[in-house]
Structure 1
């Protein structure tokens, strides 16, 4: 469970400093040292530390002053005061100033290590809590769906979550199949155990089997250690096989046996290992056509599809777009540390009428791109058109006239040619087969911002 901590040890007594540093490093901590408070401040400003252990009595900047400086920073740094002169008064002062604890040099170092381990546990729990909050927020935006079709999918997911039935999730790429699988796991009786996800499309046949079943030491070239596979690692928890439609037929036979018997064999070992897992699979393929074309086994399909949940594409649940846009906008603001107060009506109109062939994943990427390019706290369609936020070949807005669509395409093409030509007007106009004056007129008409000073040959 240990969360790796980086420590800064500050003490003007060289022998004690070096001895304590050795003790802490033997415990597996990353330790930097500073010989006085001034050096410590420089190091804190340049590096990230989780804990500062500082001597109380030092020349110039003492331990209390260093503690006070740390308190002015907007960083989660815990401070432990160390001194050779233990007294109740000093302890009370240090704790009032925000010290995590107080250590007397003559005491057993194990007490200090115990305090650091407490900080480690607190940090780990804080990180886990943040991850949990992030997961819950993701589930919330799904549950707020206004789409009747998607509400049916959610209700079915809630029902099946309480069972151990195998689930097959169907849907186009980017609709959120893994998010729904995690939702099922989170509301299941296995919620406190592992959720093990495997993207079957990302591995070759041989690598996929090694990934799923693990291997013994020396079972093949490069296998220097024993390694558990994903099946074994998912014991007591949930195994999520994403893009199961891409698994080769030879591997499908083995997986069918594993699901039926709930046991596997590591590569290089004939010993069967019993495993207890809940199986959720997903695919973006038409699985029945795959069966008809002999690319997917019918018996495996029946085994994995006790319950089938289909997620509709985003273009079939556009009533959810305002919720999703707001969610991804707030998330991007938080992740990128950048404030965007609002989107103008024209831009919102485009976002609400676009068909999103890449579904929720594409919407997320578009919103993040919008926040990245934002030059102030309000995003407008005029700003967005300066950049290729939407692919012009896929851009679709039912409320735009043919003239507007042509102008949009022409503007983006001019921008690309100018970039290719390093903003050389004569060269760009030659490629576009118009005069330099005509190109200047179009640049002004479309309000194209030249990133470099336009120049002629």
Structure 2
């Protein structure tokens, strides 16, 4: 069995692969090879790393069905020459699925959210490979940011200027969280006071109701103020002076909001 490890493909659509990193460049070469073959492939990795994009690149005309929709999937296998199975690890009976695929001689490219070995899968898939998360593909992250900014300009209008000086990419859900973050950051970079207060007002409207709401939601003001201050002034001492706070008071505020200020304890 051919096992290709440590490959990546971060792409927004099937025609625009990001190949800035060595891993994604190799993934594109592998995908190009698979397009010309008639073998089954399994792509493994976290959400948002490009599994579905890569699968659609390999089989551009195939229907993609989530394995959790097992009845729909089994019916599709009866009438399809090729199919993309999303999150094959969601299927409740892998033996039944594999037997159905073999019976109908359907070509399959599947994805899974975890790297795992299974005797039925090992028998079906000639090629299996992992796509590493974006935290290990910094070159791809930088290119994705540029691409998502372009998307934001086309969607919302305005100019293409986007300040990434203090931008810390949110890669918690890989490209999914990064795209959301870029979109929100792009919208907020030119926001005025009234617009910002309107956003907070809408957020709080349905949440208010207890007799301690002032204290409960004070962090919405304090946390961004402390984060911005520590980033700009580099130390608690300077920030406490700029805010007109006793240093011990600032330390107390940081401790009270430690859930949101982890790693911000600049001395």
TM-score (norm 1): 0.40
How far is 1:254 from its partner? 2.2
Q: Does 1:365 align with 2:180?
A: yes
- 1:285 Cα deviation after fit: 1.7
What's the TM-score once normalised by structure 2's chain length? Answer: 0.65
The question of 1:278 aligning with 2:107 is answered: yes
Find the residue that maps to 2:146 and give its secondary structure. helix
Partner residue of 2:91? 247
* Cα drift, residue 373 of structure 1: 3.7
Alignment of 1:165-204 (within 5 A): 165-186=39-60, 194-201=61-68, 203=69
| Structure 2 CA distance for partners of 1:141 and 1:430, relative to 1, 3 Å | closer
| Equivalent position of 2:140 in the other structure | 320
Higher gyration radius (CA): 1
- Unpaired runs of 5+ residues, structure 1, are 1-135, 187-193, 214-228, 263-275, 292-297, 377-381, 388-411, 434-438, 447-457
| 1:267-311 Cα shifts (integer Å, max 9, x gaps) | xxxxxxxxx6421011012323xx4xxxxxx1x212332011321
- Structure with the larger RCO, 1 or 2 (CA within 8 Å, 6+ apart): 2
CA distance in 2, matches of 1:287, 1:278: 21
Q: 1:420 to 1:154 in 2, by over 3 A?
A: same
Question: Where does residue 254 of structure 2 map in the other structure?
Answer: none
Structure 1 residues 306 and 146 mapped into 2: Cα distance closer, same or farther (>3 Å)?
Answer: same
Q: Does structure 1 retain, via aligned residues, the 8 Å contact 2:149–2:160?
A: no
- Is contact 1:171-1:313 (8 Å) kept? yes
Distance in 2 separating the partners of 1:277 and 1:323? 36
CA contact (8 A) 1:200 1:242 kept: yes
Secondary structure of residue in 2 paired with 1:174: coil
- Tell me the residue number matched to 1:339: 158
In the alignment, what sits opposite 2:22?
148
SS at match of 2:114: coil
The aligned residue for residue 214 of structure 2 is 428
Residues 35-434 of structure 1 mapped to structure 2, 5 A cutoff: 138-142=13-17, 144-186=18-60, 194-201=61-68, 203=69, 208-209=70-71, 211-213=72-74, 229-235=75-81, 238-249=82-93, 252-262=94-104, 277-288=106-117, 291=118, 298=119, 300-334=120-154, 336-348=155-167, 350-351=168-169, 354=170, 356-375=171-190, 420=207, 428-429=214-215
Which string of whole-angstrom CA distances, capped at 9 and with x for unpartnered residues, describes residues 139-172 of structure 1? 4542x42211222222111112100100000111
Structure 2 distance, partners of 1:364, 1:341, is: 15
CA distance 1:305–1:420, shift in 2 (3 Å):
same
Contact between 1:176 and 1:361, CA under 8 Å: does it hold in 2?
A: no
State how far apart, in whole Å, the 2-side matches of 1:246 and 1:151 are. Answer: 29
Instruction: List gaps (5 residues or longer) in structure 2.
Output: 1-10, 220-224, 226-239, 245-267
